[in-house]
């Protein structure tokens, strides 16, 4: 791995140096994942309260996901050329806060969609650039990526649970104001991030994105992970609405979201040891096995105990897939193109997740006798099996993998 350029300290923040770079990245993960801790479980509920039907909700959510295809790779290309990871995160954090506030004045589907599109463009680069900064911090300072990332998952867990309690018996309008308030710490913590840069004086052979996309191993990697992450489309979009439909309270729903992420946190805490034992591809196989079980049963189980037991599998379907992808990129990707690789990974996931999200709206509205909207979960099984096929191809080439 090429030597990383020295961390560039921010002159007015001398006191920040008292905290380790790993701590500062972990703190930003805490702030960053607090927002989806409320947004992911409850945003569809807020949109429904504004008069949107299931198809319009799918369009809103899928368009935001789809725009990652444009915003994240463009930001990564600029960052890989300039090295300004921290500054890019700061600018996007400020813009996200300002644009999200616009939802307070948006009225009607068209206005909500417009604000959602602009917000998606400025929000999309933050997570992949932060993930990339975390990987570089781990390489330079010997910290563990999983140990930094788990604080984000813990934040998601706590916020999902507390939001469920807070919203119980209250108007759905509270959802927007909670999310807006949680965006303020993101802006503050973005100014505490370490400024880790790679040397920019080495000759580059073409654009990083083109070099990566010409590589067949990397294309298989992208397709495999996109399939595995897209299996969550039904759950992310209509999970809360379906649980309400079968009689679970908002407090129980918040607890279920929190429990799923707690399982993810536990996996991240031991991620390095699990990754060393199974390898990146082995973790992908765990995600496939968990997905087959989870999506077969998700729409069938209706009592709280059974649903809670099934939520344990979130550690496999999301956590193992994500950790496997991070390990594969760390092991087989040139660090000089790491930000681009990270955002192409996010963009590939977004493309298929957006398509699946667009599809599940009409499917959820259609329903099936006895299952209602819950039948959309088994509809995710073909994507799980495609992801399994991709993992098998990567396993066959495990000793020759290179993402150029």
> What would the two tokens of residue 368 be?
């099936």
pLDDT of residue 202: 47
Supply the pLDDT for residue 207: 62
The reported pLDDT for the residue numbered 28 is: 93
**Does residue 17 carry a pLDDT above 60?**
no
**Residue 402 DSSP class:** -
pLDDT at 156 over 60: yes
Concatenate the DSSP letters of all residues of 128-188 into one string: HHHHHHHHHHHHHH---HHHHHHHHHHHHHHHHHHHHHHHTTS-TTHHHHHHHHHHHHHHH
3 state DSSP class of 296: helix
Contacts (Cβ under 8 Å, ≥6 apart) of 320 = 267, 283, 284, 286, 287, 290
Round the average pLDDT of the chain to a whole number and report it: 83
Closest CA to 100 of 143, 38, 171, 10: 38
Give the contacts of 215 (CB within 8 A, at least 6 positions apart): 402, 403, 404
pLDDT, tens digit (0-9, with 9 covering 90-100), for 26-51: 899 999 999 998 998 889 899 999 98
- Which pLDDT band holds residue 372 (cuts at 50, 70, 90)? low
For the cut 70, the answer to whether the pLDDT of residue 344 exceeds it is yes
Beta partners for 372?
368
Say if residue 138's pLDDT is above 90. no
Using the predicted structure, report yes or no on whether residue 200 has a pLDDT greater than 70.
Answer: no
297: left (phi over 0), alpha (psi -120 to 50) or beta: alpha
Contacts with 89 (C-beta within 8 Å, 6 or more apart), sequence order: 28, 125, 126, 129, 130, 133, 190, 193
Outline where 197-232 has alpha helix (H). 208-213, 216-230
Q: Which residue has the tokens 């309270």?
A: 249
Report the 10 Å Cβ neighbour count for 174: 15
Average pLDDT over residues 92-96: 95
């Amino acid at each position: 791995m090429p030597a990383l350029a020295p961390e560039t300290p921010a002159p007015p923040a001398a006191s920040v140096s008292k905290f380790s770079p790993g701590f500062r990245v972990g703190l930003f993960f805490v702030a960053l994942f607090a927002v989806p801790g409320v947004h992911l479980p409850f945003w569809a509920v807020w949109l429904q309260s504004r008069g949107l039907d299931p198809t319009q909700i799918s369009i809103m959510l899928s368009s935001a996901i789809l725009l990652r295809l444009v915003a994240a790779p463009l930001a990564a290309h600029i960052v890989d050329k300039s090295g300004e990871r921290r500054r890019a995160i700061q600018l996007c954090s400020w813009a996200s806060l300002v644009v999200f506030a616009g939802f307070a004045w948006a009225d009607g589907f068209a206005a909500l969609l417009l604000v959602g599109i602009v917000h998606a463009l400025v929000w999309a680069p933050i997570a992949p650039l932060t993930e990339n900064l975390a990987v570089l911090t781990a390489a330079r300072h010997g910290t563990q990526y999983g140990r930094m990332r788990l604080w984000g998952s813990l934040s998601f867990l706590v916020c999902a649970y507390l939001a469920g309690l807070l919203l119980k018996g209250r108007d759905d309008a509270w959802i927007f104001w909670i999310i807006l308030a949680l965006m303020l710490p993101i802006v503050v913590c973005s100014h505490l991030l370490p400024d880790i840069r790679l040397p920019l004086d080495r000759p580059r052979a073409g654009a990083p994105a083109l070099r990566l996309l010409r590589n067949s191993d990397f294309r298989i990697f992208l397709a495999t992970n996109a399939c595995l992450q897209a299996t969550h489309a039904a759950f992310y979009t209509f999970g809360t609405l379906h649980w309400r439909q079968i009689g679970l309270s908002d407090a129980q729903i918040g607890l279920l979201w929190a429990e799923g992420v707690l399982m993810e946190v536990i996996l991240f805490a031991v991620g390095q040891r699990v990754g060393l034992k199974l390898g990146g591809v082995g973790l992908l196989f765990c995600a496939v096995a968990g997905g087959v079980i989870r999506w077969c049963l998700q729409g069938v189980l209706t009592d709280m105990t059974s649903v809670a037991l099934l939520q344990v599998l979130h550690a496999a379907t999301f956590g193992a897939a994500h950790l496997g992808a991070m390990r594969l990129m760390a092991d087989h990707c040139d660090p000089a193109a790491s930000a681009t690789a990270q955002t192409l990974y996010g963009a590939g996931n977004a493309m298929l997740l957006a398509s699946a999200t667009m599809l599940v709206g009409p499917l959820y509205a259609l329903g099936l006798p006895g299952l209602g909207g819950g039948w959309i979960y088994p509809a995710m099984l073909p994507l799980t099996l495609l992801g399994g096929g991709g993992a098998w191809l990567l396993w066959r080439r495990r000793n020759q993998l290179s993402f150029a």
